[in-house]
Amino acid sequence: MDFARQQRDPTRHLVGIGFVILIHVIVVYALVTGLARRAVEVIKKPLTATIVEEIKAPPPPPPPPKKIEIPKIPPPPQQTYIPPPDIPVPTIQSEPVIAAVTPTPPPEPPVIAPPVVAPPAPPAPPKPAIRRGIVPISRVQPEYPREAERKGISGGRVVARLFIDEKGNVTEVKIVEANPPRWFDRAVMNALSQWKFQADGEKYIGEIEVEFKLE
Mean pLDDT on 59-84: 70
Q: What is the mean pLDDT of the chain?
A: 78
Give the residue, 124 or 196, on which the prediction is more confident: 196
Report the run of H or E that residue 131 belongs to, with start and end: strand 130-132
Instruction: Please state the φ and ψ torsions of residue 206, each to the nearest 5 degrees.
Output: -120, 155
CB atoms within 10 A of CB 140: 13
pLDDT surpasses 70 at 49: no
The reply to whether the predicted model has a pTM over 0.85 is no
User: How does residue 102 score in pLDDT terms, banded at 50, 70 and 90?
Assistant: low
- Please, are residues 192 and 160 in contact by the beta-carbon 8 Å criterion? yes
Burial of 197 (0-12, 13-18, 19+ CB in 10 A): buried
Mean pLDDT on 31-54: 60
User: How does residue 85 score in pLDDT terms, banded at 50, 70 and 90?
Assistant: confident
Interval 137-172: pLDDT, tens? 999 999 999 999 999 999 999 999 999 999 999 999
The C-alpha atoms of residue 144 and residue 152 are separated, in whole angstroms, by 12
CB contact set of 143 (below 8 Å; sequence gap of 6+): 187, 191
Instruction: Please state the φ and ψ torsions of residue 132, each to the nearest 5 degrees.
Output: -115, 155
